[in-house]
Amino acid sequence: MTNPPRLRGPRPVAPSAAEPGQGSEGQGSEGQGSEGQGSEGQGSSARIHLGRVFKAESPSYFLLLGTTLFLVVFGLVMVLSSSSVDSYLENTGFFGTVLRQGGFALIGVPLLLVVSRLPLKFWQRVAWPMLVISGLMQCLVVFTPLGITVAGNTNWLSLGGIQFQPSEAIKLALVVWLGMILSQKKDRLDDWRHVYIPVFGVGGGAVLLVMIGGDLGTVMIMAGILFGALFYAGVRLRMLALPLGVGALLAVLVAISSSNRMTRIMSFLGTGCDAADGTISAACWQPLHGTWALANGGIFGVGLGNSKAKWSWLPAADNDYIFAIIGEELGLIGAIVVLCMFILLAFAFIRIMHTSQTLQARVSTAAVMVWVIGQAMVNIGVVLGVFPVLGVPLPLVSAGGTALLSTLVAIGIVLSFARGEHEHAAAHIEENE
């Protein structure tokens, strides 16, 4: 015997028109009720959409963004102080250099915010085009008369009266490309062929183009980006030993092949730096005056704008040696503040790496961290006399439009990862609720 079918509830019956008064009242009340529900639904919908627009990003997002903006503003103040004398001597007025740097900042900060809204798939699509285009521009530097040589390094390109460094574009392209290629090969990173061929074949070739131009400092930063990305992708250290040894050998050969670089190395070792007898060589002039500027600052500094070294005593005071001016004018306190800002940057990068759900976001964030923090350490180490003069600027602080733009875009890429992961986590929580 089968069970009787389960009956559904009665279907709604249309209101009868036998009682016009009651029918009209009922219809009127129903109309008012539906109208009220509709307006209430629209209001709640509007509140939801506004909440999505104005919702807070993750704490790591704001930490990275706030620290970056602080360093940019601080850098503009220090560029104004350190470059005013040289700008006046170059007939551009006291504000010539800082106005140019401020123009790049006005372009770079909005560009950072725009880049931070781009999704992960966008970076997957543009990784190869970015690397190819930046590599072709670097070929114009080293293989055509368009390349410009400054202080023994052919690292600048002049197109249409605009001078810039394609090597900065290669750094940016490597950050995106390494994250994309290593995420594609995440299950085959134990096979040396899937590590050496793409990373050191393609990425190493891009670094080699910069090495041909002779900019050893930039080459070291780019090599750090390669090895940092591989390390944080989970590649075993024994697989990195051979390329690391080959890279170190190439760096030595490049160093000894240039008389300019050998002079810097010898001055770092103390040759020609006898200040007591007044026989200071040209190579020792900059590091010695950088040390004296730091010593003159003491603990509290001589005051903002009161540097003596910037009066044509310290070359590249607004660029490679701006940390010496910071130490002289703001003292040990100001130098420690700058160091703390870069420590905060590193902390923000690490937090974003730990919350990343994709290998591409984690690798690219690690590459940007090695780039920015590593370059800051090299720059400060050169000023303190820990390293020989390598000619790399202090990120976000030193004068240099191309370097500022590339660094801001790189940080914008990391912000896009932080924002995307935060939205993914928020959506997951809403689904569970």
DSSP structure string for 146-177: TEEEETTEEEEEEETTEEE-HHHHHHHHHHHH
Beta pairing class for 147-150 and 153-159: antiparallel
Please identify which residue in the block is written with the tokens 């019956």. 13
Q: What is the mean pLDDT of residues 154-166?
A: 85
Phi (first) and psi of residue 362, to 5 degrees: -70, -45
pLDDT in tens, 365-422: 999 999 999 999 999 999 998 988 888 999 999 999 999 999 999 999 999 999 876 5
Q: Which of 14-28, 81-95, 132-146, 332-346 has the largest mean confidence?
A: 332-346
pLDDT > 70: what percent of the chain? 81
What lies within 8 Å, CB to CB, of 405 at 6+ separation is: 104, 107, 108, 111, 168
415 Cβ contact partners less than 8 Å away, ≥ 6 residues apart:
61, 64, 65, 112, 115, 116
pLDDT over 60 (residue 324): yes
**Residue 265 contacts residue 254 (beta carbons within 8 Å):** no
Spatial contact of 326 and 310, defined as CB atoms under 8 Å apart:
no
Angle at which helices 216-233 and 237-256 pack, to 10 degrees?
180
**Rounded average pLDDT over 280-300:** 88
Let me know the angle formed at the C-alpha of 125 by 404 and 408, rounded to the nearest 5 degrees: 10
At residue 24, the pLDDT reads 43
pLDDT in tens, 228-264: 999 999 898 888 888 889 888 888 888 787 777 777 7
Tell me the pLDDT of the chain averaged across its residues: 83
Radius of gyration of the chain (CA): 29
**Mean pLDDT across 159-178:** 90
Is 70 exceeded by the pLDDT of residue 95?
A: yes
Phi-psi region of 23 (alpha: psi -120 to 50; beta: other; left: phi over 0): alpha
Residues sharing a CB contact under 8 Å with residue 165, sequence separation 6 or more, in sequence order: 155, 156, 157, 402, 403
Give the dihedral of Cα atoms 365, 368, 372, 378; nearest 10 deg: 110
pLDDT at residue 12 is higher than 50? no
Cα first-last separation, the chain: 44
Residue 273 three-state SS: strand
At residue 254, the pLDDT reads 80
Residue 9 has pLDDT above 80, yes or no: no
The neighbouring-strand residues paired with 156 are 148
pLDDT band at 36 (very low <50, low <70, confident <90, very high): very low
Reading the block at residue 66, the tokens are 């706030």
User: At which residue do the structure tokens 């290593």 appear?
Assistant: 182
Report the pLDDT value the prediction gives residue 422, as an integer from 0 to 100: 53
pLDDT score, position 118: 93
Structure tokens at 415: 């912000």
